[in-house]
Amino acid sequence: MTAKIIDGRAIAQEVRAEWKVRADELKVRGTTPGLAVIIVGDDPASKVYVANKVKACAELGLYSEHIVLSADTSEEALLKKILELNEDPKIHGILVQLPVPKHINSSKVLDAISPEKDVDGFHPMNVGALATGSMRFAPCTPYGVMKLLEKSGVLIEGKHAVVIGRSNIVGKPMALLLLQANATVTICTSKTIDLAKHTRDADILVVATGKAKMISGDMIKPGAAVIDVGMNRMDNGKLCGDVDFDSAKEVAGWITPVPGGVGPMTITMLVANTVQAAEQLSTLKRHL
Ligand code: GUN
């Protein structure tokens, strides 16, 4: 079997076009959705991600602020900036790129973002809402994976979904979204004994481990949908995922490439969450 390649760039364009319609409708009514992205320090990978997020907003005609703070910025100064943005009517979404430098407590930072503007979905209130099935903002990467599955015609209900990775950014919210969609969900970690036993039983396999090419074709159930969230730089400078694409594509039914799979969707869902935040905040304002 040769897998269908899930084209994340094409699906991202399609989903962005859908959200552009909603953004344009808001603009006609006098609200331009606005996103503030804060980066603390100069981690090269984070800088690229943040630049791409700001660029995507511009492409959809959204307002954006790109706030660059030096690596020695105090926690207090960062919290003050967040509180200012919470009150700023031009801003509907606030994102602090993670990781932040070690002297800053990331939980305090995420707690400070107004839940109504938390387009990452990382505030404890939004995490709780996702866990109890009354989601407001889904974290962008798992939300993007759900869209990829939906747009590719992969059925989720009743299927066995295996998520490898338990981060707050990807693994845990991914498992919750799949559960919400009526999958039977297994979460594996780096400590899981006999990982292949679990992966070979997965109808849907989402891999978010940060370990290059750790999932090979012999670990995949024939016909499975394989979603690779990894983004690793190899010695030759090329990017690769957590899945060994060449062997996996011979077994899987669907597979995402790296790059060009999940990556474009993460940014797209950030734009979507920002437009949704602007819709909700502008409705709230009209009712005040
Ligand atoms: N770092 C890696 N992924 C993400 C993300 O989705 N949001 C934020 N804020 N930081 C990240």
Q: What is the pLDDT of residues 199-222, one digit of tens each?
A: 999 999 999 999 999 999 999 999
The domain that holds 191 is classified in CATH as: 3.40.50.720
If asked whether residues 259 and 144 sit together in one domain, one would say yes
Question: With left for phi above 0 and alpha for psi between -120 and 50, is residue 177 left, alpha or beta?
Answer: alpha
pTM of the entire predicted model: 0.97
Q: What is the pLDDT of residues 88-97, one digit of tens each?
A: 999 999 999 9
pLDDT value of position 159:
98
Q: Is residue 283 part of a domain?
A: no
Ligand 1: residue whose CA is nearest its atom 9: 97
For residues 122-138, average pLDDT? 96
Proportion of the chain above pLDDT 90, given as a percent = 97
If asked whether residues 147 and 236 sit together in one domain, one would say yes
- Strand positions, DSSP E, the chain: 4-5, 34-40, 63-69, 93-96, 160-164, 184-188, 204-207, 225-228, 232-233, 239-240, 254-255
Q: What is the pLDDT of residues 80-89, one digit of tens each?
A: 999 999 999 9
Separation CA 180–CA 24 (nearest Å)? 30
| Pocket around ligand 1 at a 6 A CB cut-off | 95-98, 120, 140-141, 169
How far is the centre of ligand 1, averaged over its atoms, from the C-alpha of 210 (Å)?
Answer: 14
Confidence band, pLDDT 50/70/90 cuts, at residue 284: confident
Question: Which ligand 1 atom lies nearest to the CA of residue 139?
Answer: 6
Catalytic-labelled residue, pool 7, 97, 203, 276: 97
| Residues 253, 224 contacting (CB under 8 angstroms) | yes
180 carries an active-site annotation: no
Residue with tokens 């959204």: 62
120 carries an active-site annotation: yes
244 carries an active-site annotation: no
Residue range(s) defining the domain that contains residue 214: 140-263
pLDDT value of position 17:
97
Separation CA 71–CA 39 (nearest Å)? 9
